[in-house]
């Protein structure tokens, strides 16, 4: 896993799996409007960077799919069970 951007308010971390898919991990520690706006901007920049690196899709799993509404353009692929907890599998098309 590598850091995309880590601040005192949030962290974006990513990992590449064995199928050359990019998986994004997001932690938010502060929920004010300016932080959420900045997170959306960082997310869009990260998506562009991942696309330029040759990735066509970005994935994440979340127990809170409403959070993904901040990062528009996603597809909810349904619920997966991880250790007895339901998580939504979310993907973004990066083009290419």
CB 12 within 8 A of CB 43: yes
Q: Residue 14: phi, psi to the nearest 5?
A: -135, 160
Please check the confidence at residue 65 and state whether its pLDDT lies above 80.
Answer: yes
State pLDDT tens for residues 43-59: 999 999 999 999 999 99
Q: What is the CATH number of the domain that holds 60?
A: 3.40.630.30
Total domains in the chain come to: 1
Please give the residue range of the domain that contains residue 21.
2-93
More confident residue, 1 or 34: 34
Please check the confidence at residue 96 and state whether its pLDDT lies above 70.
Answer: no
Please check the confidence at residue 1 and state whether its pLDDT lies above 90.
Answer: no
- What's the confidence (pLDDT) of residue 6? 95
**12 confidence band (pLDDT: 50, 70, 90):** very high
């Amino acid at each position: 896993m590598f850091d995309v951007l880590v601040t005192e308010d949030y962290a974006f971390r990513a990992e590449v799996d064995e199928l050359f898919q990019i998986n994004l991990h997001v932690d938010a520690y502060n929920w004010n409007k300016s932080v959420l706006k900045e997170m959306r901007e960082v997310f869009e920049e990260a998506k562009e960077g991942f696309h330029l690196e040759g990735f066509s899709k970005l994935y994440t799993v979340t127990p809170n799919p409403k959070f993904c509404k901040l990062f528009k353009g996603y597809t909810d692929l349904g619920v997966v069970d991880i250790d007895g907890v339901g998580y939504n599998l979310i993907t973004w098309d990066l083009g290419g």
